Amino acid sequence: MRTLRLLAWRPLRRRPLRAVLAIIAVAAGTAMAVSVFVVRTSVARSVADFGAELSGPTELRVVGAVRRGGLGPEVVDRVAAADGVAGAVPVVQAVASLDGLEEHTWVDPGGRTVTYRDGWRRVLVLGVDCSIEALVGDHGCPEDGVTDRGDVPFAVGRGVPDGSRLQTNHGMVTLRNRPVYEGFDGLGDGAFVVYPLPSAQRLFDRGDGVDVVYVQPEDGVDVGELRTRLDELVGEHNAVLDADQGPPEVELALGSALPVFSLLGLFGLGIGGLLVHNTVTLSLEERRRELAVVGALGGTRRVVAWTALGEAGVLGAFGGLLGAAGGLLVAGPIVDTMSNFTEDVAAMPVTLHAGVGAPVLGALLGVVVALGAAVLPARRALRLSVVDELSGRGRFEERPTARHLRRVAGFGTVVLAGVAMVVAATRGGGLATWQPPVGALGFVVMAVGLLLVAAALAPVVLAPVGRLVEGSAAGRLAVANLLRAPGRTAVMVVALTGAVATAFVAAGFSRSIERSLTRSILSNMEGVSVSAAGEGANANLDVALPPEVVDALRAMPEVDEVHEGAVVLAGAGRDEVISVSAFGDPWVLKDRHAVVAGEIDPARFAAGEVVINTLLARDQDLRPGDELRLPTPSGMVEVPVMAVIHSGGPTGREATLSLDRHRELYGPQPLRAVNLHPVPGVSYDELAVAAVAAVANDPAAARFVQEGPDRIYLHVSTPDQVLAEARGTVRTTMLPFWTLQRGLLGVAFVAILSTLLLVGVQRQREMGMLAAAGMTPPRLAQMVLTEAGLVAVAGAVLGALGGLVTLWAMIEVAPLVIGYANDFHPDGWEAVRAGNGALWVALLAGLWPAYRAATTEVVPALRYE
């Protein structure tokens, strides 16, 4: 251990900048991975807590074929009467919008001052009857049971301010002076409202159905057997779950988001590993003679290897621990984002849960990544010749071009293997279950291979680039310096390649998504959307446009047609939930770009066939011509699959039916949004303005848009506005990549600075000789800056080429992960911009080494050893 401390760890103190940088790099990498772990833990804990809070002491719960009102009274009765059931608690669980973050006052037309609250959040609305006392204890329920009390709830949670306004399917309800229920602490920080069951059924259009029945078994009854009995009783289209199992739609939705974060985490780990590799490589390069001395004193190859690995290990451990702390910091905003999302889906917030796992995982990951990154430099260190180093013959690792080309060929094979995996994974739309993991693995293999190819190609690229500057002595010397130390050159070039490639990929991916969105939205959305939920609101949200508003819109002279839509979440288990939607003007009939298998035939679609997305096709092994078994309130229904399309997002599995077929299967649904088609001669912008005015001027509907307690959330948007919102979302999504890119530029800066400084130290005598031979200080500085510039050019060229391949792979693999397919639109100008940035970074990093070269004192330098 003392040997390790003296030989591996002590030297780190002499290069604090590089050590700190490597630690930060590992920390950045592990922070991403740890944050993914923390987010996953937090989600799992929050979901479990939420489920446990709602279920109380019950063991099982029955859910319907559809999330809203899927269980009719006959099912509730059957469950209550089943053998072994002590109590059955029917509940409506609506996720609604609450306008209640800030208090406002308003003077109404009659001159009265009205106080109301403004600021939207999601809230859980529970509709219960007296059987709820089985869950929460005796609360004085009337003996004749609960009845519809109008808009007045039983109680509200602590998170619902007095005077808040609840948006129901029939307008706003002001919640004033209601008792505050102190229980259900785990339910969204007290953001819940409890209504009598009949009131909730009416306010949220459940008819006589309920959403869930909690089941308390009789004492001594085997829960497993009871579950089997209930399964048979409720039918295949309904489901019996563990009572405390979290909302399946939440798990499903997060299940599609977490892989993206996981990929980012892997990417970060890779970058961290790369920098540790660079650091250890440079460190060992600098210490070749020291290691030779250790060898001369009797140090074995094992000592040399441990020196390299020990240095990396300690960098990794420190970086990992720092990364764990960073991971917690990073996880905070991610958890907040997730929480916004889960609150939108189920009024379920996600809170941060860390535990001891995070630091342990961070340190472990840091050490593993760092050791892995140090293996190659350590192997190289093992090959050093003690005699050559001590006699000054082994300073430079000269490699013939043939060897470079062999390395390029070898690493090129790795790239091709990755490309082959990507191609195989995306064939046929990637509908087989093995394809997504193979695609992701292929992407990683290809990206790693490209970096290795860039490292091997650096000297090969520099040779022709160098001809541009060979006219001057400084240029010629700069080229020679870079070519005779290919390892060091590769470290600098690869650092810039990574930054340029990341910029190119991030810009290209943004551009591809935006172009695809533009094409999709502008060609499919023919009209103005009026929504009570906002663009992209989750299907699980209980919201509806008031009939008065819809009537006012229908009466507009500028409107040619009003297209409606409907969406239900069908299926119960996490692996069974499907978002089944329908539109009056279905975009699936227009956007042929998204078709993966089958064909879009409007006649067959109108006749009841279904279009499904790739995730659903993959999960249930469905292809065009197969039958999709859809859970409906009346039982399982088989629907022919017409086509499979790329479509994804938070709802995961998706199926699209014609509106008629949807209503046939699921009945009329609350109208969340309508799409207005204008009469000829009216632009979308004019129509949007007219729509707001029409509602505001309609005597029955005006109160829903005017300031005051009845104002609802109403979102009117043209295709351009939808596009602008979508672009904003894309840019926000891409922010982590740009942060990463800037971090990589910082890494490249330090890599070039430290490498050129190191080279300067090693070339002290050579500098002295050049100065003695008459090279002026400006020329010496020019030589160093030319090296930096050449490295930048090589990095930019290789980064752009590598980025092009990486972008292609990312576009190919993305649909397998996120569901959406995008066209390939590389951004050539970004390559130029990133290359320009790389050049400035390299020149900036070269300034200090250039200054040191220019101020070389000849006599001491010639004496230097």
By the criterion CB under 8 A, which residues form the site for other proteins? 2-3, 6-7, 10-11, 13-14, 289-290, 293-303, 385-387, 390-391, 393, 865
Q: Choose between 298 and 699: whose C-beta lies nearer to other proteins.
A: 298
CA distance 789 to 835: 11
Residue 280 Cβ vs other proteins, minimum distance, rounded to whole Å? 16
| 8 A C-beta contact, residue 157 and residue 184 | yes
What would the two tokens of residue 662 be? 């949807």
CA 323 to chain centre: 19
Residue 311 Cβ vs other proteins, minimum distance, rounded to whole Å? 11
Q: Choose between 114 and 293: whose C-beta lies nearer to other proteins.
A: 293
Q: Choose between 244 and 286: whose C-beta lies nearer to other proteins.
A: 286
Residue 770 Cβ vs other proteins, minimum distance, rounded to whole Å? 22
Q: Choose between 49 and 311: whose C-beta lies nearer to other proteins.
A: 311
Residue with tokens 């190609």: 457
Residue 406 Cβ vs other proteins, minimum distance, rounded to whole Å? 20
Residue 293 Cβ vs other proteins, minimum distance, rounded to whole Å? 4
* Closest listed residue to residue 129, CA positions, set 118, 141, 138: 141
Burial classification of residue 845, based on how many CB atoms lie within 10 Å of its CB (0-12 exposed, 13-18 middle, 19 or more buried): buried
Residue 473 Cβ vs other proteins, minimum distance, rounded to whole Å? 23
Residue 384 Cβ vs other proteins, minimum distance, rounded to whole Å? 12
Residue 428 Cβ vs other proteins, minimum distance, rounded to whole Å? 55
Q: Choose between 271 and 303: whose C-beta lies nearer to other proteins.
A: 303
Residue 292 Cβ vs other proteins, minimum distance, rounded to whole Å? 8
CA distance 180 to 158: 6
Q: Choose between 311 and 591: whose C-beta lies nearer to other proteins.
A: 311
Residue 799 Cβ vs other proteins, minimum distance, rounded to whole Å? 35
Write a three-state SS string for 638-693.
EEEEEEEECCCCCCCCEEEECHHHHHHHHCCCCCCEEEEEECCCCCHHHHHHHHHH
Please give the C-alpha separations between residue 276 and each of 36, 373, 447, 495, in angstroms, as whole numbers.
22, 6, 17, 12
Residue 296 Cβ vs other proteins, minimum distance, rounded to whole Å? 5
| 8 A C-beta contact, residue 485 and residue 396 | yes
Residue 310 Cβ vs other proteins, minimum distance, rounded to whole Å? 13
Q: Choose between 333 and 392: whose C-beta lies nearer to other proteins.
A: 392
CA 385 to chain centre: 49
For residue 549, what is the enclosing H or E element?
A: helix 547-554
CA distance 90 to 146: 13
Q: Choose between 97 and 307: whose C-beta lies nearer to other proteins.
A: 307
Q: Choose between 383 and 427: whose C-beta lies nearer to other proteins.
A: 383
Residue 397 Cβ vs other proteins, minimum distance, rounded to whole Å? 15
**Residue 164 amino acid letter:** S
Q: Choose between 299 and 508: whose C-beta lies nearer to other proteins.
A: 299
Please give the C-alpha separations between residue 347 and each of 95, 181, 185, 190, 715, in angstroms, as whole numbers.
6, 17, 13, 10, 21
For residue 180, what is the enclosing H or E element?
A: none
Cβ of 545: how many Cβ atoms within 10 Å? Answer: 25
Q: Choose between 93 and 307: whose C-beta lies nearer to other proteins.
A: 307
| 8 A C-beta contact, residue 856 and residue 768 | yes
Q: Choose between 294 and 701: whose C-beta lies nearer to other proteins.
A: 294
* Closest listed residue to residue 711, CA positions, set 205, 100, 195: 100
Q: Choose between 12 and 215: whose C-beta lies nearer to other proteins.
A: 12
CA distance 188 to 168: 19
For residue 396, what is the enclosing H or E element?
A: none
Q: Choose between 122 and 287: whose C-beta lies nearer to other proteins.
A: 287
Cβ of 823: how many Cβ atoms within 10 Å? Answer: 12
Please give the C-alpha separations between residue 448 and each of 109, 301, 461, 750, in angstroms, as whole numbers.
68, 29, 19, 21
Nearest 5°: phi and psi at 58?
-70, 160
Bridge partners for 84 per DSSP: none
CA 417 to chain centre: 26
| 8 A C-beta contact, residue 126 and residue 188 | no
Residue 462 Cβ vs other proteins, minimum distance, rounded to whole Å? 22
Residue 309 Cβ vs other proteins, minimum distance, rounded to whole Å? 17
Handedness of CA 651, 654, 659, 662 (dihedral sign): negative
Burial classification of residue 780, based on how many CB atoms lie within 10 Å of its CB (0-12 exposed, 13-18 middle, 19 or more buried): buried
Residue 287 Cβ vs other proteins, minimum distance, rounded to whole Å? 9
CA distance 849 to 788: 10
Residue with tokens 């009416």: 202
Bridge partners for 581 per DSSP: 567, 656
Cβ of 752: how many Cβ atoms within 10 Å? Answer: 28
Handedness of CA 615, 618, 619, 620 (dihedral sign): positive
Q: Choose between 236 and 398: whose C-beta lies nearer to other proteins.
A: 398
Q: Choose between 306 and 704: whose C-beta lies nearer to other proteins.
A: 306
Residue 2 Cβ vs other proteins, minimum distance, rounded to whole Å? 6
Q: Choose between 59 and 290: whose C-beta lies nearer to other proteins.
A: 290
Q: Choose between 11 and 777: whose C-beta lies nearer to other proteins.
A: 11
**Residue 368 amino acid letter:** V
Strands 192-196 and 113-128: parallel
Residue 382 Cβ vs other proteins, minimum distance, rounded to whole Å? 10
CA distance 685 to 400: 66
